[in-house]
A = this chain, B = another copy of it.
Amino acid sequence: MLGMGAYTPLAGFMGEGGWRSVCADMKLANGVFWPIPITLSASQELADQISIGEEVALCDGQSGDIMAIMSVGEKYSIDKEFECSNVYRTTDPAHPGVKKVLEQGAVNLGGPVSVLSEGEYREKYANLYLRPEQSRALFIEKGWSRVAAFQTRNPMHRSHEYLAKIAVEVTDGVFIHQVLGALKPGDIPADVRTRAIQAMIDNYFRKDTVIQAGYPIEMRYAGPREALLHALIRQNFGCSHLIVGRDHAGVGDYYGPFDAHHIFDELWEGALVTRALKIDITFYCKKCYGMATAKTCPHDQKHHVSISGTQQREMLMNDADIPPEFSRPEVVAILKEYYASQK
């Protein structure tokens, strides 16, 4: 993220002052808006071997490749409860974002980073990997001044298509921006997901209204604070808007369904240029006889076509019929082919 320019204006990992003011006030030490700490932790043992002012190599945990050189300017221990209660609004260790913070080493290393490699993403996802400078150039080339980013880590069904189509109506185009990187059990691999999304774009959108791309963020499930981070990153990518749905970047019941909408209204003037395109939950409603949102549909939920993620996986694996109200047949065909290949 640092290497591709997605974390501009950060020059590296946050020092203690920045970490503290980001947690408490969503501001870097220099006062610039930033909603979630970007820190590098180490064990006490490892930290003890590093002197202030020393340069250290940062390596990929899996491949061992050297990714960057960091000039260690600070070593500090953090109050994890303070970070979690501010950023995640909870200190419950069952929260996946809180859990990661609690699992971090005892010491944070702060200092500027010189990036040597952007990792495997650029080659592995050659069709998707766009740096912010590239997406900005692409938007200028297309004459797009209003661009809505859509954050996703899943294939897109009609509910997602409808979110994107509402955005197409009020902007010049939509930037379908996928989360690349580590998969969890049950996740659809990026290449399958990409083909499924492309099938939807090719068959159900007008040419030159959608761009598909990806970037290597890791989800924190920080709900409202993470919605702000997603928007800030999209500002770097040149997007005027971020589509923020119900319970954006939330998990479980930690956040109210519209907390991630409201937090955009609580920022100070000039904090963020990119704005939230706030949309409620989307679905096909049989009484509306079309796609709808909870903001437009007055009908009871029993009329809504809704299939849970677990149900979907089962239906796709068992080659069951997925109703056209829920997903496009072109998308379903690609997902079924993938599940069949996994048997």
Interface residues of A (CB under 8 A from B): 165-166, 168-170, 203-207, 209, 277, 279, 284, 288-293, 295-298, 324-325
Contact = CB atoms under 8 A, between A and B. Distances in A.
Contacts of A166: 166, 169-170
List of 9 A-B pairs having minimum Cβ-Cβ separation, nearest first: A290-B290, A165-B296, A206-B298, A166-B169, A168-B296, A290-B291, A170-B170, A289-B324, A168-B295
Contact of A298 (B205, B297, B298): B205
A343 to B, nearest CB: 30
28 contacts: A165-B292, A165-B296, A166-B166, A166-B169, A168-B295, A168-B296, A169-B279, A169-B293, A169-B295, A169-B296, A170-B170, A203-B298, A204-B288, A204-B298, A205-B296, A205-B298, A206-B295, A206-B296, A206-B298, A207-B298, A209-B295, A209-B296, A284-B290, A289-B324, A289-B325, A290-B290, A290-B291, A291-B291
A313 B157 CA distance: 38
Contacts of A291: 290-291
Oligomeric state, in copies: 2
Contacts of A324: 289
Most B CB contacts (10 A, CB to CB) among A204, A277, A291, A297 go to A204
Nearest to A202: B298
A290 B289 CA distance: 8
A289 B329 CA distance: 12
A271 B309 CA distance: 50
A245 B315 CA distance: 41
A120 to B, nearest CB: 34
Contacts of A209: 295-296
Contacts of A297: 206
Given A168-B295, A289-B325, 4 more contacts: A206-B297, A209-B295, A209-B296, A290-B290
A279 B324 CA distance: 26
A240 to B, nearest CB: 13
Nearest to A210: B296
A36 B325 CA distance: 47
A159 to B, nearest CB: 12
A243 to B, nearest CB: 11
A279 B171 CA distance: 10
A9 B324 CA distance: 53
A113 to B, nearest CB: 39
A331 to B, nearest CB: 13
A292 B204 CA distance: 10
Contacts of A170: 166, 170, 277
